[in-house]
Amino acid sequence: MLAAREGQSTPISDLALKRERCLGSGISPWLAPLATLLTQDLALPSFFDRVRVLDRQRLPLHGAVLLAPTHRARWDALLLPHAAGRRATGRDCRFMVTIDEMKGLQGWFLHRLGCFPVDQGRPTLSSLRYAIDLLGMGQQLVVFPEGNIRRDDGPIRLQQGLARLAQMAATQGVTVPVVPVGIAYGHAQPRPGDGAAVCFGPPLWAQGQGRDAARHFTQELSLAMQSAEQAARAAVGRPIDRP
């Protein structure tokens, strides 16, 4: 179940609690601290030579926030809590992930670590409303707007789901900053001993409603994520060579 933190979020509503139970998602009070210990004290230091976090001061520490990270490897899901999770900011990262990620043993753990599924092709109202519930309670929600892992250096192309989610939240009275995040590794396929970096860009706000507004914001977010990724890539010694 969601834990309220003084000055940062409000208790989960009865309706949101019903949706949480329906989706099978919540934060286990015993598994979440254990996962933090295993990933941040063991897995990350054992695999990476160094993890750098750039411009963390741009990350809002209170109220609703949507994190929009680039998606380069499965390690992303461990680096984000390291950079923006409970040890760094005092609150958890709630992840919206694909249905396929929530299957089997992996899904069992993800359900108990605050993740919840969404069908990218046909997102259900329950998933979208639950995401807005979380934002309305001042939570920190992570959405990978590229949809899938991408390792090439071409232009960042985003789906419009995140923009539309921000628009939907605004119609419910929740104006949410969207923070672009760039993630980089020493190699396209991370190797033991690589460096890793996470860079936070300046927050953006979706303006207006409708397809044109969503398209415009998506383009703006794409450029901001690209800029954050360039900074992260430079930090690991693998700058992006783009015209």
CA-CA distance, 224 to 133, in Å (whole number)?
26
Give the mean model confidence (pLDDT) for residues 195-215. Answer: 96
Please report whether residue 8 resides in a domain. Answer: no
pLDDT at 14 over 90: no
Please report whether residue 190 resides in a domain. Answer: yes
CA-CA distance, 111 to 50, in Å (whole number)?
29
**Could you give the angle at the alpha carbon of 8 between the alpha carbons of 52 and 18, nearest 5°?**
110
> Half-sphere exposure of 175 toward its Cβ, with a 13 Å CA cutoff?
6
Contact 222, 147 (CB under 8 A): no
Q: Note down the domain range covering 140.
A: 14-235
DSSP codes, 44-93? HHHH-SEEEEE-GGGS-SSS-EEEEE---STTHHHHHHHHHSHHHHSSPE
Q: What is the CA radius of gyration of the chain?
A: 17
Residue 145: closest CA among 193, 104, 95, 99 = 95
Please report whether residue 242 resides in a domain. Answer: no
CA-CA distance, 155 to 160, in Å (whole number)?
16
Domain of residue 96, CATH code: 3.40.1130.10
Please report whether residue 115 resides in a domain. Answer: yes
Please report whether residue 152 resides in a domain. Answer: yes
CA-CA distance, 214 to 136, in Å (whole number)?
20
The pLDDT tens digits of the residues spanning 128-163 come to 888 999 999 999 999 999 988 999 898 899 988 899
Give the mean model confidence (pLDDT) for residues 184-205. Answer: 97
Please report whether residue 4 resides in a domain. Answer: no
Q: Which residue has the tokens 């380069």?
A: 72
Please report whether residue 126 resides in a domain. Answer: yes
The rounded mean pLDDT for the chain is 87
pTM over 0.75: yes
Higher pLDDT, residue 125 or 75: 75
CA-CA distance, 155 to 146, in Å (whole number)?
11
Domain count, the chain: 1
pLDDT score of 13:
59
pLDDT score of 242:
60
Neighbours of 219 (CB within 10 A): 13
**DSSP label at residue 142:** E
pLDDT score of 21:
55
DSSP codes, 9-35? --PPPHHHHHHHHHHT--B-TTHHHHH
CA-CA distance, 63 to 57, in Å (whole number)?
15
- Pairing assessment for the beta strands 116-118 and 140-143 based on DSSP bridges: unpaired
pLDDT at 10 over 70: no
Confidence of residue 1 (pLDDT cuts 50, 70, 90): very low
Give the mean model confidence (pLDDT) for residues 179-196. Answer: 97
Contact 59, 179 (CB under 8 A): yes
The pLDDT tens digits of the residues spanning 59-111 come to 999 999 999 999 999 999 999 999 999 999 999 999 998 888 888 878 888 88
Please report whether residue 241 resides in a domain. Answer: no
